[in-house]
Copies of this chain bind each other. A is one copy, B any other.
């Protein structure tokens, strides 16, 4: 547990380029100054980073440059990227976590490559077969809901889903400060016989596993994700990616329709101007850049995926989330929840 996190930044990854990454890092440093004394290892082309830092004089004192000659392409296949782990900014940023030089790595680059490299370099926690991509999402309730897997694993079996439930609960316990998170499985109905065999099997495992530090609440449907009735929602990476992106797209769709409505007449324009401070708050609440930074759970180290199109604000949010995970000692907490100190592990008890 530390308030002086050292974060390795893949400065070259993401659609927006180095300038936005550096601006995001600088913003994170300022924004979280009261909470953390952050230090950054900026990984990428040394000359370009040095030139970019000229625009952020205050950042230079809190960062050092780690040169990486290459960059992982946004559509590069994971296998191909992995062979360049030692020379790419993404691979080197992860390696800094492995070597203990950084507490966490943050990248806006290629998700598949990031997961493959992180898995190979950092390895999985004992008892975990696959990492899962998890992120907190906004709700109408008192706290966010943690959703996983958001796209790391296209297909999952019951054992994977149970492991995700345990890891997601541990994440909710540390970041949302909940004793016994309410965990649900995403499904297409609430009745026992609904969904795939994998989901039904995972449900029966979780229902039986009353010793786990979570309260299993059954199935949740797509229309109830944001109601605030659950703390963790578990699904395979296909369903999670579809749900997450559909939610993002729908929020933007409604916002676009709202814009049209407000500009449809002089009267509505006036009404809009008067209500603006209120609608601005809503806009901020829904801006994906305020919810950026998914983490690969199940690894022996913290690797945070920032959205490829994240802007300066989004990069800063992802870095802030990484710093909080470091402070909350997320990896150790998950390992504890997995019951690694005794045999059989909690997950083994749950699934064997």
Contacts and interface: CB of A to CB of B under 8 A. Distances in A.
8 contacts: A154-B195, A188-B237, A223-B246, A223-B249, A223-B252, A225-B250, A261-B275, A267-B278
A20 B188 CA distance: 26
A146 B315 CA distance: 36
Contacts of A238: 188, 195-196, 239
Contacts of A275: 261-262, 267-268, 270-272, 275
B196 A155 contact: yes
Contacts of A186: 242
A276 interface: yes
A177 to B, nearest CB: 23
Contact of A255 (B244, B254, B278): B254
Contact of A254 (B155, B222, B251, B262): B251
A265 B277 contact: yes
Q: Is the interface of A mostly helix, strand, loop or mixed?
A: helix
A242 B245 contact: no
A116 interface: no
Contacts of A250: 225-226, 246-247, 250-251, 254
A282 B253 contact: no
When all copies of this chain in the complex are counted, the total is 2
B278 A140 contact: no
Contacts of A196: 154-155, 238
A352 interface: no
Q: Which 7 residue pairs spanning A and B have beta carbons closest together? A: A271-B275, A222-B245, A271-B274, A223-B249, A268-B278, A222-B246, A250-B250
A273 interface: yes
